[in-house]
Every structure is written in structure tokens, then in C-alpha cells.
């Protein structure tokens, strides 16, 4: 019975300490749905627009923390007075939780817009929020306006945050349950011996 009570204490300590750890993640393997690559090109006459998602390599952060998923680079070539209409698109932003050997995908969608060398009306939205991957819960700043290729070198940074999921791991729940059973049996035995 003392063993079960000890297990309960360990489970509570495990749940309580879950907020002070680190997690390693990356966004490699992210692709546009229409191309299957990290590049989307739109051509209109002699004008070309290229959207390139540059994923984040392995990064380790203390949880909870603000994080980056990488950036979407906008490159416009052609007449400086021309604009290109961008059709609706989806970027499958793959989040790899290296610590837990798990992955999940944000659907980064846009209904399209207009892009020129100095202006960009394309807005992207992330779903689902939060994205639970292993023991981590990832969020994203959404919706987000893409910058033109003359602003910040055309690089729109995808930012968000990471925290631990609210659901404890099954092993932790087993320890807690076993410990609570042990405490219950111990209390029952003590009260039964008093009679």
C-alpha cells in the first residue's frame, strides 16, 4: 500500500513539473498543396511571382515559449507597375515535434489576392489552432498579411507559440490512478482497524 501512495506522489510531481522542460521541433517537409514542393510560382505575361516557404531546422526552446516556424519569401519580377493576381492556395506547414517523435500539420490557407513589386494584399490563415503534436500544443499568429518583396526583403515570418498539451500522458494518469487507489485502500484499512 505504501508503494501505491508513493506512486501517487510521483504522479503529482510529474504533472507539476511538466511546464519547465524543453522541446525540439522543426518544420522541414512543409509543401504547397498544388505543387508538392516548398515553392509556388504564378506567371502572368512577362511578370512572375514566386512564393517560397523556408522551413525552420531543428530548434530547441524552453516551454512555454514564442517560436518561429520559418518564413514565406515573396519574389516579384517583371514590370514595376504591373501586378499579379494570386489564386487561392494552401501551404501544408508540417510541424515535427522531434522530442516526442510526432508530427502534425497546420493548413495555411489564402483566398488569394494581388501582388506587385510594392504591394501585397495576400492574407494567410492557420488552422487548426491549437495544433497538438505529441505532448506539445502549437499556436500561430493568424491571420497574417504577407509583405511585398520590397519590404523586409519579401520575407514574412510565421510566428506562434508552444506549450504543453493540457492532457497528461497515459503513463502519468496510470501512476496517479494507482496512487489514489493506494491512498484509498490505506485509509480504508486504518479506519477498519480502529473499529
- Half-sphere exposure of residue 177: CA atoms within 13 angstroms, side-chain side: 7
What are the backbone angles phi and psi of residue 165, rounded to the nearest 5°? -60, 155
**pTM of the full structure:** 0.75
Bridge partners of residue 95, in order along the sequence? 104
Q: How far apart are CA 96 and CA 108, in angstroms?
A: 16
Q: Would you give per-residue pLDDT tens digits along the chain (195 residues)?
A: 555 445 445 544 454 444 459 999 999 999 999 999 999 999 999 999 999 999 999 999 999 999 999 999 998 888 878 889 999 999 999 999 999 999 999 999 999 999 887 788 999 999 999 999 999 999 999 999 998 777 767 899 999 999 998 655 566 666 667 777 777 777 777 777 776
What are the backbone angles phi and psi of residue 164, rounded to the nearest 5°? -80, 145
What are the backbone angles phi and psi of residue 25, rounded to the nearest 5°? -145, 165
Amino acid at each position: 500500500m505504501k508503494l501505491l501512495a508513493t506512486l501517487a506522489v510521483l504522479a503529482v510531481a510529474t504533472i507539476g513539473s511538466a511546464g519547465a522542460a524543453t522541446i525540439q521541433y522543426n518544420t522541414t517537409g512543409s509543401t504547397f498543396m498544388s505543387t508538392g514542393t516548398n515553392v509556388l510560382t504564378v506567371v502572368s505575361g512577362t511578370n512572375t511571382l514566386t512564393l517560397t516557404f523556408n522551413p525552420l531546422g531543428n530548434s530547441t526552446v524552453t516551454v512555454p515559449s514564442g517560436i518561429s516556424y520559418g518564413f514565406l519569401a515573396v519574389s516579384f519580377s517583371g514590370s514595376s507597375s504591373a501586378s499579379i493576381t494570386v489564386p487561392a492556395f494552401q501551404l501544408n506547414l508540417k510541424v515535427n515535434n522531434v522530442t516526442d517523435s510526432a508530427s502534425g500539420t497546420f493548413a495555411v490557407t489564402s483566398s488569394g489576392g494581388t501582388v506587385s513589386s510594392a504591394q501585397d494584399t495576400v492574407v494567410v490563415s492557420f488552422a487548426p489552432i491549437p495544433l497538438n503534436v505529441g505532448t506539445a500544443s502549437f499556436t500561430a499568429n493568424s491571420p497574417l498579411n504577407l509583405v511585398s518583396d520590397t519590404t523586409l526583403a519579401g520575407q514574412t515570418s510565421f510566428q506562434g507559440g508552444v506549450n504543453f498539451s493540457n492532457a497528461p500522458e497515459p503513463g502519468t494518469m496510470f501512476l496517479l490512478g494507482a496512487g489514489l487507489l493506494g491512498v484509498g485502500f490505506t485509509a480504508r484499512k486504518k479506519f477498519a482497524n480502529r473499529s
